[in-house]
Amino acid sequence: MGATPARTACRRWGYPPFVTPPCSTRSRDGEAGETWFHTSMALDRSTIWPYEDGEPGRFYYSRYASPTIVEAEEALGALEGGHALLYPSGSAATSALVLALLQPGDTIALAEGCYFGTGVTFQALAKWGIRHVEFDQTQAPPEGVQLVWLEAPSNPYLTMPDLEAAAAHPAPVVVDSTVATPVHLRPLEHGADFALHSATKYLAGHDDALLGAVACRDETAAGELRRFRTVTGIVAAPDPAFLLLRGLKTLELRVARQTATAGEIAERLRDHPAVETVRWPGLGGLISFDVADNAAALRVETSTRLIVNATSLGGVTSVMESRARWEGERVPPGLLRLSVGLEDPEALWRDLDRALAS
Ligand SMILES: Cc1ncc(COP(=O)(O)O)c(C=O)c1O
């Protein structure tokens, strides 16, 4: 396999090839010491709870806090090594974080080639005086910006950021680590101020929950974000939080399997005559690769039987799509993005190989 910048970066930072997150440990006595191993997780859909002796208790109105959300936040916070906050989607987490941190006139340095929707969200915030400039995240961020926004690895270009260079920048650093997941990278341990997730993807993992998350170490920052979330009402619902709790129980196993299968498929794609470029950063279940042109990409994506022709990523089902449909000229016309699921790797390869010959 060729040494992509991302692989070099992984070696340089000494990312552990596989991090065992705390969710995979339980006491030797078989006690369910960690809340997320409880056999029955409580889904509490209440919006109100009775006052205690005439005073609001821990929970009283769900825009402020609710039990299922708090339980999921504690589980995710333990995985990221910080305080986690849930939001209704990854994009909601992005908007809430930017609006809470920045002022009119501030500029965000955004990793080029990252999830295109993040740039679209930032454009929508421009009328409130928040600008963004793009930069190569494998290099140091530009001077004079008030927030650095990285993606590990970027979707769909799959570059890894130079976290060391970013951490040396005076501005706060956000790492969208939706694709890496805490199984492969815990950004807060590498100097990032905030880790952000579309929990819709690997964390929940089954394409049935729309959810976002931000984690940070700083207690004051977490408190500010919580306050901002409450007053703006950008609050997640308990049902997806419940599905996140369920998803976290198998996160490590899913991501390990998806990473192993993606590595094998990336290797075989590199040898395929119909494939021009293969991007896989050496971690995670997301691959992108280029075929000759957009017509070829459309043919391949509509010719698979096992791999579903759909958007999104990070679920147990493999999905693939041509990204030019969404991103236009920002990506090569023949770029296909494949999110590897949990199917039999040989069956996946047979499906892909047949589609590439179509
Ligand atoms: C890397 C990344 N970040 C953020 C988002 C936005 O997340 P959501 O769709 O949950 O709003 C996505 C969605 O595809 C993504 O891929």
Would you state the pLDDT for residue 178?
Answer: 98
Query: Residue 21 above 70 pLDDT?
Result: no
pLDDT greater at residue 206 or residue 26:
206
Q: Based on the domain organization, do 278 and 245 belong to the same domain? A: no
CA-wise closest residue to 19 among 247, 154, 180: 180
Strand, helix or coil for residue 317: coil
- How many whole angstroms separate alpha carbon 126 and alpha carbon 129? 5
Give the residue, out of 91, 98, 174, 323, with the most ligand 1 atoms within 8 A of its beta carbon, to mutate for a pocket test.
91
Question: 289: helix, coil or strand?
Answer: strand
Separation of CA 280 and ligand 1 centre (Å): 18
Atom number in ligand 1 closest to CA 201? 10
Using CB distances shorter than 6 Å, the residues near ligand 1 are 89-91, 115, 117, 151, 155, 176, 178-179, 198, 200, 210, 212
- Among 230, 231, 201, smallest CA distance to 213 is for 201
Buried b (16+ CB within 10 A) or exposed e, 195-230: bbbbbbbbbbbebebbbbbbbbbeeebbeebbebbe
Last residue of a domain, one of 249, 268, 300: 249
For residues 68 and 113, membership in a common domain is answered with: yes
Q: Tell me: cis bond preceding 156? Omega within 30 of 0 counts.
A: yes
Instruction: Kindly provide the residue ranges of all beta strands, DSSP E only, lying in 71-136, ordered along the sequence.
Output: 83-87, 107-111, 131-135
Distance from the CA of 26 to the center of ligand 1, in angstroms? 31
Query: Could you give the maximum distance between any two Cα atoms of the chain, in Å?
Result: 73
**Is the domain of 242 the same as that of 102?**
yes
Residues 57, 33, 254, 81: is their CA dihedral positive or negative?
A: positive
Q: Which of 233, 249, 265 is where one domain is finished? A: 249
The residue to mutate among 97, 121, 155, 194, having the most atoms of ligand 1 within 8 angstroms of its beta carbon, is 155
Task: Report CA Rg, the chain.
Answer: 20
CATH of the domain at 337: 3.90.1150.10
Write down the pLDDT at residue 228. 98
Question: Domain count of the chain?
Answer: 2
Helix (H) or strand (E) segment spanning residue 243? helix 238-249
Distance between CA atoms of residues 343 and 154, nearest Å: 24
pLDDT bin (cut points 50, 70, 90) of residue 26 is: very low
> Which of 201, 321, 338 most suits a substitution to test ligand 1, by most atoms within 8 Å of the C-beta?
201
- Parallel, antiparallel or unpaired: strands 335-339 and 319-322: antiparallel
Whole-number Å distance, alpha carbon 49 to ligand 1 midpoint, is: 33
pTM, two decimal places? 0.91
Shortest-distance atom of ligand 1 to CA 179: 1
The answer to whether 93 and 73 have CB atoms below 8 angstroms apart is no
Closest Cα to atom 9, ligand 1: which residue?
90
Give the pLDDT confidence score for residue 32 in this predicted structure.
Answer: 39
Predicted confidence (pLDDT) at residue 37 exceeds the cutoff of 90:
no
Cβ atoms of 44 and 65 closer than 8 Å = no
Which residue minimizes the CA distance to atom 12 of ligand 1? 198
Q: How far apart are CA 58 and CA 52, in angstroms?
A: 9
Q: How confident is the model over 50-108, as pLDDT tens digits?
A: 999 999 999 999 999 999 999 999 999 999 999 999 999 999 999 999 999 999 999 99
Of 249, 281, 306, the domain-final residue: 249
> How many angstroms does the Cα of residue 30 sit away from the middle of ligand 1?
36
pLDDT of residue 1: 36
* pLDDT tens-place string over residues 150-175: 999 999 999 999 999 999 999 999 99
Q: Is 20 helix (H, G, I), strand (E, B) or coil?
A: coil
Q: Are residues 242 and 272 in the same domain?
A: no
User: 233: CA distance to ligand 1 center in Å?
Assistant: 20
Structural domain span for residue 344: 251-356
The pLDDT of residue 324 is 97
The predicted-structure confidence for 227-285, as pLDDT tens digits, reads as follows 999 999 999 999 999 999 999 999 999 999 999 999 999 999 999 999 999 999 999 99
Q: Going by CA atoms, what residue is nearest to atom 14 of ligand 1?
A: 312
Strands of the 308-309 sheet, one edge to the other:
277-279, 286-290, 335-339, 319-322, 308-309
pLDDT at 200 over 70: yes
Same domain, residue pair 282 and 350 = yes
SS3 state at 115: coil
- What is the crossing angle of helices 238-249 and 251-270, to 10°? 70
The residues near 154 (Cβ < 8 Å, ≥ 6 apart) are 111, 113, 114, 115, 137, 161
For residue 40, the model assigns a pLDDT of 55
Q: Quick one: average pLDDT of 346-357?
A: 98
Tallying the residues shown for the chain, one arrives at 358
Q: Residue 86 in contact with residue 71, Cβ under 8 Å?
A: no
User: 26, exposed or middle or buried, with CB in 10 Å at 0-12, 13-18, 19+?
Assistant: middle
Pair (30, 170) in one structural domain? yes
- Residues 163, 237, single domain; the answer is yes
CA 43 to centroid of ligand 1, rounded, Å: 25
Residue 171 near residue 133 (C-beta atoms within 8 A): no
Hey, whose CA ends up nearest to atom 16 of ligand 1?
115
pLDDT, position 24? 41
Task: Note the pLDDT tens digit of each residue in 292-339.
Answer: 999 999 999 999 999 999 999 999 999 999 999 999 999 999 999 999
Better-scored residue on pLDDT, 345 or 20: 345
Same-domain status, 268 and 281 = yes
Burial of 341 per CB tally in 10 Å (0-12, 13-18, 19+): buried
Does 196 lie in the same domain as 166? yes
Angle at 288 between CA 346 and CA 215, to 5 degrees: 105
What is d(CA 206, CA 242) in angstroms, rounded to the nearest whole number? 12
Of residues 117 and 40, more confidence is placed in 117
Kindly tell me if the per-residue pLDDT of 33 is higher than 90.
no
Say if residue 33 is in the same domain as residue 176: yes
| Mean pLDDT (the chain, rounded) | 91
Enumerate residues 6+ apart whose C-beta is below 8 A from 92: 212, 234
pLDDT band at 42 (very low <50, low <70, confident <90, very high): confident
Split at pLDDT 50, 70, 90, the class of 201 is very high
